[in-house]
Structures are given as C-alpha cells and as structure tokens.
Amino acid sequence: MNGRLIYKVEEGQRLMSLNLTVCDEEDLSHGSLSEIRRKRILRILQEAKEQGCLLSYKDLKLILLSSLATLKRDISYLRKQGMEVLIKNGR
C-alpha cells in the first residue's frame, strides 16, 4: 500500500510540483487516527522540504482533508514532543 500524490504549490513567482507520500505501509503500525495523521504530517513536510519547498497550513488542509484546528493541534503536539515542524508562514 503506497499512496503518492503530485501536489502543485506556489513558491514565490513559480509553481512547483511536489511528489508526496500520503499513505505508507508504516502508517499501519500506528494505533490511533491522530497518531497516523501526525506521522503523515511529519512525512509530508519532510518530503516537501527535501524538494525545496515549505507547505502552509492551507496546503496540509487540502492534502490531508483535516480541519485547520486539528492540524494546528497536531503540530503543537509534535513541537511539544521536541520535533522540528516547519510550516510556511507559521511559527
């Protein structure tokens, strides 16, 4: 099971295509939906960063079909766990 997505994001004056993994076999090893979503957030942000781009909350909302409040809560949780989470136009 691998779910890949090509996502187009505006980066300054240019449009970039990112190849992102939305679903991965590793996701199945995590228990709750929130744990799976947090793992996906970290993976997607890391893959975007490796391709030279930062994603915004709006991008994550569209990719993961999650509410803004849920994403902010998850990212706050990840940061409290000591993980570096880089968001475009975010803290």
Q: Give the HSE-up count for residue 34: Cα atoms under 13 Å, Cβ half-sphere.
A: 10
The model carries a pTM of 0.85
Per-residue pLDDT reduced to its tens digit, 57-81:
999 999 999 999 999 999 999 999 9
Coil vs helix vs strand at 67: coil
Look at residues 55, 52, 33, 36 and name the one whose alpha carbon lies nearest to residue 44: 55
Crossing angle of helices 68-80 and 57-64, in 10° steps, is 110
Q: Is the pLDDT of residue 1 over 50?
A: no
